[in-house]
Amino acid sequence: MQDFELRNRHFDRLVNTPGLRWLGQNTNHYPAHPAVRDAMIRCITDEEFHAYAPPLGLEKLRSLVLADLGLPEMVPVITDGAVAGLYHVCRTLCGPGDEFLTTDPTWAWPMSFARAAGAEVVQIPIYGAEHEYRLDPARLAAAITPRTKVVYIVDPNNPLGTACTEDEIRAIAEIARAAGAYLIHDCTYRDFAYAHSLAAAHYPERTVTVWSFSKWLGFAGLRIGALVAAPDLMERLANAPPNNLGSNIVAQRGAIAGLEVKRAWFPEVLESQRRNQRKVHDAARAIPGLELPVFPSNGNFLVIECEKAGLRPEAICAVMARHNILVRQGSYHTKAFGDRFIKVSVTVPEPWVDEFCALLPKAVEEARGMNEPPQLY
């Protein structure tokens, strides 16, 4: 069977597993605000879904996105999730002979999109204490070449949870401008950060800001995100978007309601996920050989290093899966460093995290005896 079929069946098993604890995909499983549910139910009850949504998104949602990001002079486009937006940007801006410069680790799919457009992907290693698990702008400047067409940063970084400081973002933007490169600032996890600065404030003309409703609002299955760019750049991106008949109108109605109640609803989500982080931190630190290189995380996830414990990440994931707990192996994010860690997502009900923490010592011991854990994706 083809690998893409095996991969789909793997995720089909996950989504059809009753009671699965989703601690592996950075998805948000807190209950939606009643206003958000009501908005989507009303959209369905009124059968509004028979019509196409506007190609750039509902105007009210577009204005709310700009207000939330604080980029009033930019132009937003609502996309079928942030990943569809990234696909479109990478395929539009990259071409044969170009370089697509990013970090290692990073989110894997934009690299695939750039390669499919003919670009060469170059990664700057940031994993390890020697790099403080973050991108030093000086190392970015040293990696720039005349062929660098796109600089792609995930900030806060997925999977590490480090976030660029304002000075670092300013420096990165200046480096991209000096190179004449486009800067894709993927800030999917910005709402969980202790502090966050947008590159578009420093390099508006060629920065594309990518944002998602999957993580902070819990809309992963509804597929809605946003691209934000300067008018001239957006004119190019809006010329032939993959969702030129508009994104899911049910999701857009829910997103509007979500942004309207965000100040009242989201702080409790943020506080809960930070409590969950502390629980995971304490449970892992109590086991010899397990380490958390980045704590607290600026994302809704944590990296747990297991290399010093002599454990394979896939083995820990496999043991957790036996108990209906999904966590992610590092190789999903990076081939070079993926054998060192697992990633645990924490925007979930606190009892799920309690189950993970209680099981972790036993999982570590069981994982020591596993030579051939199942293939994971």
Establish if 86 belongs to a structural domain. Answer: yes
- Position 272 scores a pLDDT of 98
Q: Which candidate, 35, 40, 57, 81, places its Cα nearest to that of 214?
A: 81
Q: Could you tell me the maximum CA-CA distance found in the chain, to the nearest angstrom?
A: 58
Retrieve residue 163's tokens: 């976030």
Residues 296 and 177 in one domain: no
Mean pLDDT in residue range 256-260? 98
**Which CATH number covers residue 359?**
3.90.1150.10
> Which of these three, 260, 278, 303, is where a domain ends?
260
Establish if 11 belongs to a structural domain. Answer: yes
State the residue range of the domain holding 114: 34-260
pTM metric for this prediction: 0.96
Mean pLDDT in residue range 344-363? 98
In this model, does residue 227 exceed pLDDT 90? yes
Share of residues in the chain with pLDDT > 90 (%): 94
Retrieve residue 32's tokens: 């939606």
* CA dist., res. 291 & res. 305, Å (int): 5
- Position 52 scores a pLDDT of 97
Residues 231 and 249 in one domain: yes
Mean pLDDT in residue range 92-97? 97
In this model, does residue 375 exceed pLDDT 80? no
pLDDT tens-digit map of 95-140: 999 999 999 999 999 999 999 999 999 999 999 999 999 999 999 9
Establish if 98 belongs to a structural domain. Answer: yes
Tell me how crowded residue 272 is: count the other CB atoms within 10 A of its CB: 17
Q: How confident is the model at residue 166 (pLDDT cuts 50, 70, 90)?
A: very high
Query: Sign of dihedral through CA atoms 162, 167, 170, 171?
Result: negative
Overall number of domains in the chain? 2
- Position 369 scores a pLDDT of 80
- Position 371 scores a pLDDT of 64
What is the residue whose two structure tokens read 């480096």? 175
Mean pLDDT in residue range 316-326? 96
CA distances from 323 to 58, 285, 287, 371 (A): 42, 22, 20, 19
* CA dist., res. 143 & res. 137, Å (int): 10
Residues 190 and 123 in one domain: yes
What is the residue whose two structure tokens read 């098993």? 13
In order, the DSSP letters of 164-202 are --HHHHHHHHHHHHHHT-EEEEE-TTGGG-SS---GGGT
Establish if 375 belongs to a structural domain. Answer: no
> Which of these three, 210, 243, 260, is where a domain ends?
260
Share of residues in the chain with pLDDT > 70 (%): 98
Retrieve residue 317's tokens: 């994931």
Establish if 120 belongs to a structural domain. Answer: yes
Mean pLDDT of the chain: 96
> Which of these three, 207, 226, 260, is where a domain ends?
260
Residues 91 and 124 in one domain: yes
Number of alpha carbons in the 13 Å side-chain half-sphere of residue 119: 27
Retrieve residue 140's tokens: 């970015």
Establish if 376 belongs to a structural domain. Answer: no
Q: What angle do CA 164, 170, 176 make, to 5 degrees?
A: 100
- Position 299 scores a pLDDT of 98
- Position 350 scores a pLDDT of 97
Residues 134 and 280 in one domain: no
Q: Which conformational region is residue 67 in: left (phi greater than 0), alpha (psi within -120 to 50 degrees), or beta?
A: alpha
Mean pLDDT in residue range 56-85? 97
Q: How confident is the model at residue 256 (pLDDT cuts 50, 70, 90)?
A: very high
Q: How confident is the model at residue 373 (pLDDT cuts 50, 70, 90)?
A: low
- Position 41 scores a pLDDT of 98
**Which CATH number covers residue 156?**
3.40.640.10
Residues 17 and 138 in one domain: no
Mean pLDDT in residue range 73-80? 97
Give 43-50's long-range contacts (Cβ < 8 A, gap of 24+). 43/249, 43/250, 43/253, 43/254, 44/250, 48/249, 48/250, 48/253, 49/249, 49/250
Residues 309 and 356 in one domain: yes
| More confidently predicted of 345 and 241 | 345
Percent helix, percent strand, percent coil in the chain, to nearest 5: 45, 15, 40
- Position 355 scores a pLDDT of 98
Residues 243 and 272 in one domain: no
In this model, does residue 374 exceed pLDDT 90? no
- Position 372 scores a pLDDT of 66
Residues 128 and 178 in one domain: yes
Q: Classify burial at 368, counting beta carbons within 10 Å of its beta carbon; exposed 0-12, middle 13-18, buried 19 or more.
A: middle
Establish if 60 belongs to a structural domain. Answer: yes
Residues 318 and 191 in one domain: no
Residues 7 and 72 in one domain: no
Residues 174 and 121 in one domain: yes
